[in-house]
Amino acid sequence: MTRRVGVGVLAVVMVPVLVVALLLWVLFFGAQSADAACSGSAGAVDVATIPAGARVAGFGHEQLVNAALIVNAAVTLGLGGDAGLLGVQAAIGESTLVNLDHGDNAINPDGSVADSLGLFQQQSSWGTVAQRRDPKTAATLFFKRLQTVSGWQQMVPTLAINTVQGNQDPDFYARYRGEATAVVTYLASLTTASPSSSTLSSAPTASASDAVTGSTDAVCGALSGDAKTLAGALLQQVKAGRLTILEPRYEQEIADVAAGTQSAACGLDPRTLQIIQLALRSFRTVGVSDLNRRCTGSLLGAGSQSSHWVNGGGQAVDFYAFDGTALTGGDPASMRFLGLLDQVVPAGARAGQVECRAVTAFVHLTQFDDTCNHLHIDVAFTAGAPLTLTG
């Protein structure tokens, strides 16, 4: 890092600066639509139908019963499946769906110890001990506050939850979306048919038969988090003519990861492969021009400072075409894909080409200057867990 960068960074942390006024462009896709489409339908769950040995996304019977009571509280209030899913997502974050009789001993600003209780870790200002320890009542308290938030259905899920919970990290609940979706989808299956098994297995792997829907539903459906599995699926798409890797050396990177024979400098982050897979779910054909430049020794662009190079080099991808049309980063296909991607990538994932499109404020993606002849995506400065998408 250069001294210039270091001083500038410290300046923003230590010294007041003016914010440039930006126009917020409301994404055509909406923030909630795809997530909502991925979850099960709303309906009361008969907790007696949850098998004693049930296990979903790591949660056992007691936790699934609590999730069902949360969903039922939403139904009782006349709220849709979106709300039930948010409630379960919040409770996973607060209590892992365990009806806790204690809090985390956090200290309130007045010096008192937080007296949080229950599934939602509500303090005494929310209600009596009995109310906060009763799952359905606690959930009702959560939903009644959610109902007072204007436009909560259109908000990014973690922010909708945080308008109620007020966590110091507004993105805190995002990491629990995949688990919550798996749980709510399982519970919904109980209301429509007897499950064939008391155990919902981990997410199936992505396959070459993934449908191309061309809608926000495209982000639904389980997606493997394993690089080798993902790379294998992508190779099949190459053979099928749906995925074109512009240079053979980058196609070889995928082949090596699929075979498990890649060298230390030639790895590909599972998230990079997942992002390509998501593009294939959204478009009939996808063109990729750049992957791991550290592997190829390419010093294009920012050279060894490039997100195609740092951290081992496999955390960035450049797309050059969707559906046979060249990308600028601001064209309709790029905008559509960015809207989808923003819903599933971790906060701080990046898109290039900021100057190539109308001013757009994404929730999770940050943006930077890059040439307008491709669409750059990277996850170089985010936590390393694979994206979690469950159907």
Partner 1 sequence: MAMRAFCRPRLTRPVWIADLDRYLTLAAASAYATVQPSRVACTRVTATAHPGEGDDFTQLVTVRTDAGLYRVTVTRASASGRWLVFRIALVTAQ
Interface positions with partner 1 (CB under 8 A): 1, 5-6, 8-20, 22, 24, 106, 108-110, 159, 162-163, 165-171, 302, 305-307, 310-311, 347-348, 350, 354-355, 361-363, 366-369, 380-381
Q: Closest separation between CB of residue 159 and partner 1, Å?
A: 5
- In the complex with partner 1, which residue's Cβ is closer, 31 or 42? 31
Closer residue to partner 1 (CB): 134 or 269: 269
Rounded to 10 degrees, the C-alpha dihedral 345/349/353/355 comes to 110
Cα separation, 256 vs 264, whole angstroms: 11
Cα separation, 330 vs 257, whole angstroms = 31
For partner 1, the closer CB: 145 or 249: 145
- Min CB(310)–partner 1 separation in Å: 7
Could you tell me the smallest distance in angstroms from the CB atom of residue 99 to partner 1?
21
Question: What is the rounded distance in angstroms from the CA atom of residue 136 to the CA atom of residue 291?
Answer: 49
In contact, 114 and 108? CB cutoff 8 Å: yes
Three-state SS for 129-197 is HHHHHCHHHHHHHHHHHHHCCCCHHHCCHHHHHHHHHCCCCCCHHHHHHHHHHHHHHHHHHHHHCCCCC
Pick between residue 18 and residue 130 the one whose CB is nearest to partner 1. Answer: 18
CB of 93 to partner 1, least distance (A): 13
Q: How far apart are CA 294 and CA 282, in angstroms?
A: 29
DSSP result, 189-227:
HHHHS--S-SBPPSPPPP-TT-----SGGGG-S-----H
In angstroms, rounded to a whole number, what is the distance separating the alpha carbons of residues 51 and 69? Answer: 15
Tally DSSP H helices, then E strands, for the chain: 13, 7
Shortest distance, position 172 Cβ to partner 1, whole Å: 9
Cβ proximity to partner 1, 121 vs 185, nearer residue: 121
The least CB distance from residue 167 to partner 1, in Å, is 6
- Residue 191 vs 371, nearer CB to partner 1: 371
Q: Report how far residue 34's alpha carbon sits from residue 340's, in angstroms, rounded to the nearest whole number.
A: 8
Give CA–CA dist 59/152, Å, rounded: 27
- Whichever of 12 and 130 has its CB closer to partner 1, that residue is 12
CB of residue 293 to partner 1, shortest distance in Å: 14
